[in-house]
Structure 1
Amino acid sequence: MNNGDFVNVDGRDIRIEGERNLLELIRKAHIELPTFCYHSDLSVYGACRLCIVDIDGMGVVTSCSTQPKAGMVIRTNTAQLRQMRRIYLELLLANHHQGCATCVKSDRCKLQELAVRMGVTEVRFQTKLEAKPLDTSNPSLVRDPNKCILCGDCVRACEEIQGVGAIDFAYRGAATTVAPAFGKTLSEVACVYCGLCASVCPTGAITPRPQIDRVWQALSDERKTVVVQIAPAVRVALGEMFGLEAGVVTTGKMVAALKMLGFDKVFDTSFAADLTVLEETTEFLGRKTRGERLPQFTSCCPAWVKYAEQFCPELLPHLSSCRSPQQMFGSLAKATLPETLGIEREDLFVVSIMPCTAKKFEAQRPEFQAGGHPDVDAVLTTQEFGKMIKQAGIQFNQLTPESLDLPLGFKTGAGVIFGVTGGVSEAVLRFAYEKLTGVKLDSADFAEVRGPQGVRIRQIKLGDVELKLAIVHGLRNARAVAEDVRAGKADYDFVEVMACPGGCIAGAGQPVSFEQDTTQRRTQGLYDADKTLQLHASQENPYLAQCYSSTLDGIGGRRAHELLHTGYSSRKRVMDEGFSVLDPSGAKALEINVCVGTGCYLRGSQRLLQQLVNYVTDQGLERTVDVRATFCFEACDKGPNVKVGEVVMHRCSFEMVRAELDKQLRQVAA
């Protein structure tokens, strides 16, 4: 053995090949050490202590936080290690709400799985658990702090991958918990409802908010005609809930199952994705020709849209005005199907099956309602759909495939690949090429825009026109691209953004998987589905031409804008009145609110706040003036923003605020 290349793991020599820690190297040796807090895409935390190993000369250490060194002799399965792991699990269980039989995560709970695997048959420690209230304040996620094991996965995912930081550790010692800032609910902070926290949570502490009962109720209502749309990414993931490999396309079986459940019509969101391609590409080429509002950012990901509203409001004019495929389908269905099916609009119930938790939030946005009624009435995740199949006792794997209903069930491959990162860009290029050159594509593939990298910059030549694209997944990456655009450092023409790493195929509503290659296999499944279809470009969908002729007044037409487009506006990140920086006791004659949100902070609001505090203190005005820090005036591009009394001031300097303060104090004194 060359000690420069190997470590010894349980008597076997394992070569060091660039692994960043012992855990990765040990897993390469086909030994699956238990972990809660380790995710290869996140920073090392080392809190759960389950991945402990015994190393000669070092003793017991966590393998996730220890780098491999040549000559190490490692043991992973001694009696001491097994006992320690069982004790760690017992301690977690002692402080854990153990309603496992009724927990929504019961069939895929990592705590439960490891307790069984490690042979934990009793909990010898007394439970000292005070029940904490559930957070059901939003339509997308449920947060149950009683089931949290403080692994920190959600905290790191939210900060490191999405750059949002909506939740963090709070308090100390035995009182430590994971919660949104300032004791708020998720709906009152900057959460974008992407659900990445739920994806990485090993227990039921954060889960997608279910709407199964609402859908069952609609299916049981004889007055309702219930139709359903299936998102592209669902077809390559649902099978995992029934023992199939990730990436296996199950569209036909899904249709059969939905018909058995009682849905009257089964359609494909990919039809609406084809619509999105025609509308978005036309909008983009119009902007490109006029040289205005470039780059154009995509708007199909509701988590990204909410992120932009909160963190990048000055870039909202750059977002495509196109609705997402889900919402295009909903508005089109509500506008056309009542007449086609001979029913009243209020008797049509539209259900979406989505890989995404943010879609639940999107469906409830006021922009997507008509007459007080939503275009999409209920959103189920892939997981919820699988549960409904199981509740009905349907043997999914034995079903004979059935076909989708027309016309809203017909799609091209361009609509199908919307579910992967780069898919929207590729679909747009397939249409843009034909529009710019007048020539039909020989090959529909634009493989240049594909790939797993979080940010991909590509230059694509379509005839005489050269386009510069940025394809981004993960909102922290999106923030970096947006900052470059805002600072004038980037000259992109088109930017595709998806919140979930890998795209919709890795959405929080998909079946939970801890396999490293699941995302890759789902991705390949959608590309294979594209290949098996006869048509690969959205403009080739014959039912789109019929739809534009009969309903939408042509691409970009008046009716198309009414049904398929929308607009967005800036949104507060924290729903709060702020807090007093000086002594908050007693009634004050005058109030000063200084925004300390990111946009204003970057423009100097913290320094301005300190100057005001010093001024009020030096002048002895603490009993008269209440200086408060607040979080958003919804004018982030005009910061620092300050409100003195009822006067709102933008782009403030200390001198401006002091002058207004002195003026109002004189008025109070008079």
Structure 2
Amino acid sequence: MENVTIKINGVETSVPAGTTILEAAHMANIEIPTLCFMKEINAIGACRICMVEANEGRGNRLVAACVYPVSPNMQIFTNTPRVLEARKRTLELMLSTHERNCLSCVRSGNCELQQLAKDLGVEDAGIYDGVTNHYEIDGTAAHMIRDNNKCILCRRCVAACGITQSVGVIGANERGFKTFIGSAFDMGLGETSCVSCGQCIAVCPTGALAEKDSTSEVLAAIADPSKHVIVQTAPAVRAGLGECFGYPIGTDVEGKMVAALRRLGFDKVFDTDFAADLTIMEEGTEFIDRLQNGGKLPLITSCSPGWIKFCEHYYPDMTENLSSCKSPQQMFGAVAKSYYAEKMGIDPKDMVVVSVMPCTAKKFEIGRDDQAANGVPDVDIALTTRELGRMIQRAGINFQALLDEEFDMPLGLSTGAGVIFGATGGVMEAALRTVVEVLEKKELPSLDFQEVRGMEGIKEATYNVAGTDVKLAVASGLANARMLLDKVNSGEADYHFIEIMGCPGGCINGGGQPHVSPAERNFGDYRAKRASVLYSNDAAKAVRKSHENAGVKELYDTYLEKPGSHKAHQLLHTTYVKRSIN
């Protein structure tokens, strides 16, 4: 592509033609503030926070940097008094209708609006106070709270829901001063076809959207001497939690996380990766059975509850393709309240299973039907990574000073295959390590299936396994899932096995992970950085195949008999429903 020469704050630079001023400034190591902008999906120039002065030979003009392309010999000024005053006035007008209870807001200290007010020197937030609209808080969804009193109409949530996830259950209602973000006919979010993925929360710059906080329930359970409270942590949590405490993106804090959980008072600290290995044993067995005995294909993974609900709403006829396996979260709970409870002599009714997940849809999943294998809920409380971060902070635990500790046994034992579940392609790769060795009856020369790795939205591969060409596909993000399934339904594509993760990049980018800065979200590679934690963890493991997990072997030998057994189906498998679209 042809380059053009421009000047930014007097410094000459060369950038590709068609580059926006915002992108050009980033290339020149200058970050222009934004609020509404999300690269490729919400470049609408609506908030006007990114205003700069641009001179194309006709004098300096204020333009929105996120949508204005550079031109040859353009001169750009990003920090003149005129620019700073324009941004400040715009921000003051936003704040005039914004509920400013910052001290008690869940985003206090990590709010883009708050940070801009500090950066731009907004001292009197009420300078333009006048008539405001008041909105009732929407708590109808199982996983989140919507408070439009804190909404700034940036529409980032609308773009995430409609474009990234192709769900589109929220949008701008009314017009002018009465505009608000809501569902059709102002329905509560819980009445719509929302899939609980939380990607809207992940991109919201303020406290208008937040997960339902369940930390008080956890603390109450821990304080109850009659309860045995155990916690499981998903693989992606160790790759994101450190960001809550100032660590760079891509830092593995597994050991400190375990130490912090013990200091919060949990009786046992276990690893969801154990159940991920268990999932591979059940799902791999299910796939082999369908492949060899004419079962419904393609088999589609069932680990992502956001994806499952999406399938039930938008592709109900394909629920028969879903693996009947519960997610690792739910499998863990079922095993904890049966096998582990019996070994420890604990009444399952006196056990509280808490999960820490990168995923807000897990809050919905724990309340689904057919998720109570032993007569009690498999999992009682699901927390997000962010909630755990807040619990640790409120408890006064010096996270950075903690020494690494290890998970408790037996449900803390896992393999490399279990840990890579947190990245897109990880479930597929873990399954291949086991399925190929089972079918070919020999060890794999290499355990790394590079074709299914990476942050691409859709990946495809074909492997010859025991004389059969097995066609695979991996999708992450529900818009990509929709594209893939439409190709399958039309006959354009044909696969044996499909992995789908509801969130782009997989669980490492779940709706419950720590918020990232606008610059990192738009120009960084935070998903790959978090995924690298999991792949490094996998590579360092002595055991990297699910079927070689000694704890899982013992579970089958002494309790479940074998993968796919009647007892395994009772505890570890589930059913689905065909839902309507609202």
- What TM-score does the superposition give when structure 2 sets the normalisation length? 0.96
What is the CA deviation profile of residues 614-652 of structure 1, one whole-angstrom value per residue up to 9, with x for unaligned ones?
xxxxxxxxxxxxxxxxxxxxxxxxxxxxxxxxxxxxxxx
Partner of 1:42: 41
The 8 Å contact of residues 252 and 402 in structure 1, kept in 2 or not, is answered as: yes
The one-letter amino acid paired with 2:48 is R
Partner of 1:30: 29
SS of residue in 1 equivalent to 2:206: coil
Cα 1:4–1:389 shift into 2, 3 Å: closer
- Matches of 1:159 and 1:52 in 2, distance apart? 26
Look at both structures and tell me which one has the larger radius of gyration over its CA atoms: 1
SS of residue in 2 equivalent to 1:360: helix
Task: Give 1:606-645 correspondences, 5 Å limit.
Answer: none
The 8 Å contact of residues 4 and 71 in structure 1, kept in 2 or not, is answered as: no
- Matches of 1:4 and 1:234 in 2, distance apart? 42
2:180 pairs, out of 177, 182, 188, with 177
The 8 Å contact of residues 52 and 81 in structure 1, kept in 2 or not, is answered as: yes
Q: Are 1:8 and 2:7 counterparts?
A: yes
The 8 Å contact of residues 143 and 207 in structure 1, kept in 2 or not, is answered as: yes
The 8 Å contact of residues 225 and 264 in structure 1, kept in 2 or not, is answered as: yes
Partner of 1:106: 108
Task: Give 1:531-542 correspondences, 5 Å limit.
Answer: 531-542=539-550
2:481 pairs, out of 470, 478, 481, with 478
Partner of 2:376: 373
Following TM superposition, by how much is the alpha carbon of 1:402 offset from its aligned partner in structure 2, in angstroms? 1.4
Task: Give 1:264-663 correspondences, 5 Å limit.
Answer: 264-370=267-373, 373-514=376-517, 515=520, 516-574=524-582
Higher relative contact order (CA 8 A, sep 6+): 2
Cα 1:563–1:4 shift into 2, 3 Å: closer
- Matches of 1:172 and 1:149 in 2, distance apart? 14
Partner of 2:74: 72
Q: Are 1:97 and 2:105 counterparts?
A: no
Partner of 1:620: none
The range that moved more, 460-469 or 516-525, is 460-469
The 8 Å contact of residues 247 and 526 in structure 1, kept in 2 or not, is answered as: no
Cα 1:5–1:130 shift into 2, 3 Å: closer
The alignment's C-alpha RMSD in Å is: 1.3
Partner of 2:214: 211
In structure 1, the gaps of 5 or more residues are 575-670
- Matches of 1:295 and 1:87 in 2, distance apart? 56
Q: Are 1:151 and 2:154 counterparts?
A: yes
SS of residue in 1 equivalent to 2:488: helix
Partner of 2:118: 116
Partner of 2:247: 244
- Matches of 1:192 and 1:86 in 2, distance apart? 37
The one-letter amino acid paired with 2:175 is R
- Matches of 1:358 and 1:127 in 2, distance apart? 38
Partner of 2:197: 194
- Matches of 1:62 and 1:323 in 2, distance apart? 48
SS of residue in 1 equivalent to 2:38: coil
What is the CA deviation profile of residues 208-246 of structure 1, one whole-angstrom value per residue up to 9, with x for unaligned ones?
111000000000001000000010000111111111122
Cα 1:398–1:181 shift into 2, 3 Å: same
SS of residue in 2 equivalent to 1:359: helix
Partner of 1:594: none
Following TM superposition, by how much is the alpha carbon of 1:77 offset from its aligned partner in structure 2, in angstroms? 1.2
- Matches of 1:381 and 1:434 in 2, distance apart? 35
What is the CA deviation profile of residues 224-270 of structure 1, one whole-angstrom value per residue up to 9, with x for unaligned ones?
00000010000111111111122211111111111111100111000
SS of residue in 1 equivalent to 2:41: coil
SS of residue in 1 equivalent to 2:370: helix
What is the CA deviation profile of residues 119-149 of structure 1, one whole-angstrom value per residue up to 9, with x for unaligned ones?
1111310242232111111221110010000
- Matches of 1:81 and 1:350 in 2, distance apart? 53
- Matches of 1:36 and 1:379 in 2, distance apart? 30
What is the CA deviation profile of residues 265-290 of structure 1, one whole-angstrom value per residue up to 9, with x for unaligned ones?
11100000001111111111111112
- Matches of 1:376 and 1:522 in 2, distance apart? 26
- Matches of 2:232 and 2:374 in 1, distance apart? 22
Partner of 1:53: 52
The one-letter amino acid paired with 2:350 is D
Following TM superposition, by how much is the alpha carbon of 1:343 offset from its aligned partner in structure 2, in angstroms? 2.1
In structure 2, the gaps of 5 or more residues are none
- Matches of 1:372 and 1:102 in 2, distance apart? 39
Runs of at least 4 residues off by over 6 Å: none
- Matches of 2:17 and 2:223 in 1, distance apart? 57
The 8 Å contact of residues 222 and 265 in structure 2, kept in 1 or not, is answered as: yes
What is the CA deviation profile of residues 410-455 of structure 1, one whole-angstrom value per residue up to 9, with x for unaligned ones?
0000000000000001001101110121111222111111111111
What is the CA deviation profile of residues 456-480 of structure 1, one whole-angstrom value per residue up to 9, with x for unaligned ones?
1111223422111111011011111
- Matches of 2:241 and 2:463 in 1, distance apart? 35
Partner of 1:86: 88
- Matches of 2:381 and 2:581 in 1, distance apart? 26
The one-letter amino acid paired with 1:191 is C
What is the CA deviation profile of residues 325-357 of structure 1, one whole-angstrom value per residue up to 9, with x for unaligned ones?
000001111112222222211110000000000
SS of residue in 1 equivalent to 2:66: helix
- Matches of 2:17 and 2:501 in 1, distance apart? 30
The range that moved more, 84-93 or 328-337, is 328-337
SS of residue in 1 equivalent to 2:238: helix
The one-letter amino acid paired with 2:223 is S
Following TM superposition, by how much is the alpha carbon of 1:186 offset from its aligned partner in structure 2, in angstroms? 0.7
Following TM superposition, by how much is the alpha carbon of 1:193 offset from its aligned partner in structure 2, in angstroms? 0.6
The 8 Å contact of residues 158 and 196 in structure 1, kept in 2 or not, is answered as: yes
State the aligned residue count.
Answer: 572
Following TM superposition, by how much is the alpha carbon of 1:373 offset from its aligned partner in structure 2, in angstroms? 3.3
The 8 Å contact of residues 419 and 504 in structure 1, kept in 2 or not, is answered as: yes
- Matches of 2:371 and 2:159 in 1, distance apart? 33
- Matches of 1:223 and 1:188 in 2, distance apart? 37
The one-letter amino acid paired with 1:154 is C
- Matches of 2:554 and 2:76 in 1, distance apart? 68
- Matches of 2:251 and 2:130 in 1, distance apart? 44
The 8 Å contact of residues 92 and 149 in structure 1, kept in 2 or not, is answered as: yes
- Matches of 2:275 and 2:19 in 1, distance apart? 44
Following TM superposition, by how much is the alpha carbon of 1:372 offset from its aligned partner in structure 2, in angstroms? 6.4
SS of residue in 1 equivalent to 2:231: strand
Cα 1:453–1:167 shift into 2, 3 Å: same
- Matches of 1:110 and 1:4 in 2, distance apart? 33
State the percentage of identical aligned residues: 45
Following TM superposition, by how much is the alpha carbon of 1:107 offset from its aligned partner in structure 2, in angstroms? 2.0
The 8 Å contact of residues 422 and 496 in structure 1, kept in 2 or not, is answered as: yes
- Matches of 2:469 and 2:145 in 1, distance apart? 46
- Matches of 1:370 and 1:84 in 2, distance apart? 59
Following TM superposition, by how much is the alpha carbon of 1:63 offset from its aligned partner in structure 2, in angstroms? 1.1
Cα 1:4–1:558 shift into 2, 3 Å: closer
Following TM superposition, by how much is the alpha carbon of 1:19 offset from its aligned partner in structure 2, in angstroms? 6.0
What is the CA deviation profile of residues 357-409 of structure 1, one whole-angstrom value per residue up to 9, with x for unaligned ones?
00010011122125763110001111111111111111111111111111110
- Matches of 2:397 and 2:41 in 1, distance apart? 38
